[in-house]
Amino acid sequence: MASKLEALERWVDEVAKLTRPSHIHWCDGSDDEYQALVQQMLQTGDLIELNQQTHPGCYLHRSNHADVARVEHLTFVCTQTEEDAGPNNHWMAPNEAHGKIDALFDGCMQGRTMYVIPYCMGPIDSPLARCGVEITDSPYVVANMRTMTRMGAAAQTRIEREGGFVKGLHSTGELDPERRFIMHFPEELSIKSYGSGYGGNALLGKKCHALRIASWQARSEGWLAEHMLIVGIENPQGETHYVAAAFPSACGKTNLAMLIPPEGYRQDGWKVWTIGDDICWMRPGSDGRLYAINPEAGFFGVAPGTSAATNANALASVSRDTIFTNVAVTADNQPWWEGLPGTPVTDWRGRPYDPANGPAAHPNSRFTVSAKQCPTWSPKAEDAQGVPISAIVFGGRRPSLVPLVLEARDWTHGVLLGAAMGSETTAAATGEVGVLRRDSMAMKPFCGYHYGDYFAHWQSFDQAGAHLPKIFHVNWFRKGRDGKFLWPGFGDNLRVLEWMIARIKGDAAGMETPIGIVPAPNELRTTGLNLDAATLGELLDVDHAGWQTELAAIGDYLHSFGKRLPKSLHVEQQRVASALAQAATASRQVAATS
């Protein structure tokens, strides 16, 4: 199934001459093609059949033990000038990068099949969607791209009609960590990845295209490509408000995307609809609102910790037609990871399970599954025009200082909240406690250009006639003096979303603080929660002195982006700092006279 588009044919020929495959296969995305790939991988051992009675259509893939995660230090943004890539990216000059990686690609597909994968990020008929073609020598990548994107003949037809596409070239190579690079060329709309078979390094439609390249496209075309979930909250009156939310890793992103309302809310008629769990593309509509699509068609989710207690919807999603990567296996050949009942007999590397070897499932083990299998999946995910966004939420893991929920006073303040967001490390993660890592908009590893320009692009949406979503910041992870979480989290996070919707509709007054608006007394519904007034007060407390230190640190962080940082963010940081200083002075005066 060669292409009618000369540019695509020419590129495929060039790659074939460089990599010298034994065969070339143009992927059509059909069921027959997928089943043939599965059978091929079962024969080669690239896939292992799981228990077809309990998990029909499910298979296990074990990757090389040195190839289990993203490799940020080997991931480059290759713009003509280093300044355009920014301090938030590793940079390499395009000519040097092409030379370095093309030398690795030279002859790398000898004896292998070269797969040509036309794909569409987003609904196939959506004006917000963008297309790409990935060339790979990995049938595992083909199978995953079929689930994660709209892949095959329909995508190729759109590419041939439009004439343009993002080029992605991938080879597993020798899976040698010393011969591994992930190169992005935003000005060329191209990606080259060598030496890894791991998801984000090999499924080039995912982080490489949908964030690093798309963020560059979005800036030039007037939209936003963001590391955000999209969830719909339907109230008892039948109104649905769509929320886009950005969190760094380990902050409950997938759980929020598939949230199960507390029992009382379910009885009242509240419903939650999943549009996407990872990536969000937004652009202004004719009415001035932001409309969003999920460019992905599937979930590439972290398995460990996914359980009936934490995320029953995700667990239900993966009961059939799922590819599991680097999980453990039980005696009756079911997939297993920490958080599930039962006992593993074989670990993620295929060895008899021994706790001395570490976790049974790799901590970054994954499942790849169609989004349509999620019990809360919304058909609106296929809407060509996207869904209107009522609120944008930023959040991080902060054991102190940051309130449970905070509303920005306007768009610029919201951009500042997003730019300043971050998470504090735990002893389990790094051996150091309380080290704050800024991760602006949760895009630090994924923004394909200078963060200063990125913040300016966010600011550019604040124009006359725009009806922009309200911006909030949340922190589910605040702890009390006993070291325990103050907020129950999980399904009860809907209580916070309910307050946000009340603010959007004008049904809640809120309470002004120097750092933003928090819920006024009795505005946050706590019925059915074992949460006293003192604990709620602690969750919403604003420590003026602590925040003065935080604002100074935010100022230093913003300063690191130099002249490209929009002046409006400096001004906003100074405004908040000044409000805090005044509040702190007033508090001291009250204390002195009482």
> Which residues form the catalytic set?
251
- Would you list which residues are annotated within the binding site for GTP? 250-255, 366, 397, 490-493
Q: How far apart are CA 438 and CA 420, in angstroms?
A: 6
Distance from the Cα of residue 518 to its chain's centroid = 27
* Nearest to 396, CA basis, from 523, 288, 550, 538: 550
What value does the CA radius of gyration of the chain take, rounded to a whole number of Å? 24
3-state helix, strand, coil in the chain (%, to 5): 35, 20, 40
* Nearest to 207, CA basis, from 373, 55, 70: 70
Looking at beta carbons, which pairs linking 236-240 to residues 24 or more positions away fall under 8 Å? 236/268, 236/269, 236/270, 240/273
The tokens describing 76, both together, are: 């480059």
- E strands of 413-528, at which residues? 422-424, 436-438, 470-474, 511-513, 516-518
Angle between helices 411-420 and 544-559 (to 10 degrees): 80
- Would you list which residues are annotated within the binding site for substrate? 70, 198-200, 249, 364-366
Whose structure tokens read 């007999």?
345
Task: Provide CB contacts within 8 A for 472, sequence distance 6+.
Answer: 391, 392, 393, 394, 405, 406, 407, 408, 414, 500
* Nearest to 129, CA basis, from 139, 118, 138, 143: 118
Q: How far apart are CA 177 and CA 192, in angstroms?
A: 16
- Which three-class secondary structure state does DSSP give residue 482? coil
The tokens describing 172, both together, are: 């597993």
Q: How far apart are CA 425 and CA 247, in angstroms?
A: 14
